[in-house]
Amino acid sequence: MSTPPPAHVLAAFGAGGVPPERLPGGRGLAYRCGDIVFKPVDNTAEASWIASTFEQLRISGIRVARPVRSSDGRWVVAGWSAERFVSGRVEPRYNEIIETSLILHEALAGVANPRYLRDRSDLYSWADRLAWGELVADRRTLGDGHGARLFDELALGRKPVDLPGQLVHGDMFGNVLFAGSAPPAVIDMTPYWRPAVFSAAVIAVDALSWGGAQTELLLEWRHLPEWPQMLLRALLFRLAVSLSHPRSTPESLVEMLTATEIIRPFLD
């Protein structure tokens, strides 16, 4: 849990005098002050670039959390960013989440590849590159148990794909909100540079791993280009994170391994 943003940060974004309220989700790090949501920032360059990108983005059919500038024009003040509050809650409407992903990524298709994405070295970026065969698995990181052997077996099934890369939201499961008849709202952009369908595949893998979805979800979207290979890479990505993340629990790893065996027949 974090501490709330300090008073000078609230004032810089025009929320002075409004008591901050911790929001559910987001690892307990986000706070709402009126119609503004504050979040701590790990990477100032990334947060500023995402904000400048979404400031101008206009998308028909979905809502996005709009970034807020500080009074002196900055996107990040003392390690905090701000955006407009969007109403809604997470619901297990996985087909609609994938539809939302497709709409979002059509709008993002023309965004240039930012250099910082190529320079990132965090665990998730490492797992992403590992899943795409751009790195060789480090046995010290993946371990030598069943999960690591399963990763190696699955990786043998990778085949080249002929899809363009673009900016994608790599963690939409749990970050699409629904509010009555309003369009779905996308929050907490987690950027990667991959084919647009990869985002949909990660949603499907997450939905089967932790959301109680059934395999019919995989069949529903098999018309998407390179769907089996996108599912394979999404599965490798999540499996690498589960095996390597310091906060992974035995229970979550079992769920991931179980989902892997369920999804495996759909990778051909």
Q: What's the CA gap between 1 and 7, in Å, rounded?
A: 18
pLDDT of 80-108, one tens digit each? Answer: 999 999 999 999 999 999 999 999 999 99
Contact status, residue 214 vs residue 187, Cβ threshold 8 Å: no
Please report which helix (H) or strand (E) contains residue 37, including its range.
Answer: strand 36-40
1 has a pLDDT exceeding 60: no
Q: If you count them, how many residues does the chain have?
A: 268
Return the structure tokens found at 196: 């647009």
Task: Provide the pLDDT for residue 83.
Answer: 97
Q: What is the pTM of this model?
A: 0.94
Task: Provide the pLDDT for residue 24.
Answer: 84
Q: How confident is the model at residue 26 (pLDDT cuts 50, 70, 90)?
A: low
Total Cβ atoms within 10 A of residue 214: 11
Average pLDDT value over all residues in the chain: 94
Question: Which of these ranges, 10-19, 191-200, 203-212, has the smallest mean pLDDT?
Answer: 10-19
pLDDT of 114-167, one tens digit each? Answer: 988 888 889 999 999 999 999 887 766 888 889 999 999 999 999 999 999 999
| Alpha-carbon torsion angle 170, 166, 59, 15, nearest 10 | 60
27 has a pLDDT exceeding 80: no
Alpha helices in the chain (DSSP H): 7-12, 44-56, 94-108, 115-119, 123-131, 139-142, 146-155, 196-210, 216-220, 227-244, 250-263
Please report which helix (H) or strand (E) contains residue 63, including its range.
Answer: strand 63-64
Q: How confident is the model at residue 209 (pLDDT cuts 50, 70, 90)?
A: very high
Contact status, residue 112 vs residue 84, Cβ threshold 8 Å: no
Q: Three-state SS for 231?
A: helix
Q: How confident is the model at residue 194 (pLDDT cuts 50, 70, 90)?
A: very high
Q: Sort strands 21-22 and 176-177 into parallel, antiparallel or unpaired.
A: unpaired
Torsion 242-247-252-254 (CA) sign: positive
Show the CA angle centred on residue 124, arms to residues 256 and 31, nearest 5°. 95
Torsion 96-55-128-197 (CA) sign: positive
* pLDDT cut 90: percent of the chain above it: 85
Nearest to 93 by CA among 199, 190, 1, 179: 179
Mean pLDDT of 37-55: 94
Q: What's the CA gap between 246 and 252, in Å, rounded?
A: 12
Q: What's the CA gap between 250 and 237, in Å, rounded?
A: 18
Contact status, residue 102 vs residue 200, Cβ threshold 8 Å: yes
Mean pLDDT of 198-203: 98
Total Cβ atoms within 10 A of residue 187: 23
Torsion 71-77-81-87 (CA) sign: negative
